[in-house]
Amino acid sequence: MRRGRIQEAAFTFLMVSSLALVTATLVGIVAVVLIKGGPALSVDMITETPTAGYYLGGGGGILNAIVGSLWLALSATALAFVVSIAVATYLQREFSTPRLANAVRTVLELLWGVPSIVYGVICFVIMVFVGLGTSLLAGIVALTLLEVPIMTRVMDESLSSVPPELKVSAHVLGSNRAETSVRVVWRQAAPGLVSAVLLAFGRGIGDAASILFTAGFTDFIPRSVLDSAAALPTMIFFLSTSPLPEVRERAYAAAFVLLALVLVISVASRLLTHKLSTYVVK
């Protein structure tokens, strides 16, 4: 007779139920989005912008949001990439002192946890100060601020996990610090770097709070960086609670597109990481 059998059985039941609950929520969310969003999707939906009377149940689609989201997220990720890779490389031991690196890492860790709405608020303040209205530019800046800590942190981890012997081997063969960084270290850390970028991109494209005040919302596709821009998350945010079912349909469609994008990025990240790992030294 095993000791504590009852306790073990009880806890095992609890553990499995908890796990089941968590799994169920994932399945549930995907299911809801599919069920509600699927029927709402049509070629028109994706290729048209809202027409007049849209919010009163008129025609049109969500193209404005799709384009806006892509503009926002791609630009922000690109900008964040430039900053992050510079900071992450800088943090490696050969470029900075341990004290400085520690300080920067602490700051990064703190920034990582900042709620995105705060970034939105700050950019809003700056916008007002500078005299701009809501714009694509402001949204991009806010998103970049959001993405930088996330991206830098993952990049830092990958770069730090490159075995130092690798760098030494490169130096012994005659390359300087910069060459070593780019050709050897980045190559070894490539899977981690790629996943950092994709992770940040996924986060950026799904975030609503930071672009709420900054990018604004509009029915049109932004034509310049100073125009307001709609995005999928903000569209969902505004339209989910509309009293009109046709308008809510747009939200569901937007959710479908957004979720699909995020899932695709997630899978792509895994595949790419795997593929890039062929030359990685373990």
Partner 1 sequence: MVCAFLALVVLILVFKSSYLLGQRSLADLLLTTDWNPPRGRFGLLPIIAGSVYVTGLAMVVAVPVSVLASTYIAEYMRGAAQHVMKSFVDVLAGIPSVVYGMCAIIVLVPLVRDVVAPAFGVNSTGFCVLSAAAVLAVMVFPIIISVCVDIFRAVPQETREASLAVGATKWETTKLVVFRAALPGVFSAVLLGLGRAFGETIAVAMLVGNLPRMPASLFDSAATLPSLIASTYGEMMSIPLYDSAMMLLALILILIVLAFNYLAGLIKKRFERLQLGESA
Residues in region 182-221 near partner 1 by CB under 8 A = 199, 202-203, 205-209, 212-213
Q: How far are the Cα atoms of 76, 172, 196, 200, 242 from residue 188, in angstroms, in the given order? A: 25, 17, 14, 20, 50
- How big is the chain, counted in residues? 282
Residues between 81 and 140 with contacts to partner 1, criterion CB under 8 A: 83, 86-87, 90, 100, 103-104, 106-118, 121-122, 125-126
CA pair distance 190, 68, nearest whole angstrom: 29
| Residue number, 77 or 170, with CB nearest to partner 1 | 77
Residues between 30 and 89 with contacts to partner 1, criterion CB under 8 A: 32-33, 36, 83, 86-87
Segment interacting with partner 1 (CB under 8 A) among 7-15, 38-46, 54-62, 175-183:
7-15
Phi, psi for 132 (deg, rounded to 5): -85, 155
Residues between 144 and 183 with contacts to partner 1, criterion CB under 8 A: 145
| Residue number, 15 or 182, with CB nearest to partner 1 | 15
Least Å from the CB of residue 184 to partner 1? 22
Q: Judged by CB under 8 A, how many residues of this single chain contact partner 1?
A: 72
Q: Give residue for tokens 């990720």.
A: 77
CA pair distance 171, 177, nearest whole angstrom: 8
Q: What value does the CA radius of gyration of the chain take, rounded to a whole number of Å?
A: 23
For partner 1, the binding residue among 46, 79, 221, 262 (CB under 8 A) is 262
Residues between 226 and 255 with contacts to partner 1, criterion CB under 8 A: 233, 236-237, 240-241, 251-252, 255
CA pair distance 146, 206, nearest whole angstrom: 12
Angle between helices 245-276 and 63-91 (to 10 degrees): 30
| Residue number, 220 or 237, with CB nearest to partner 1 | 237
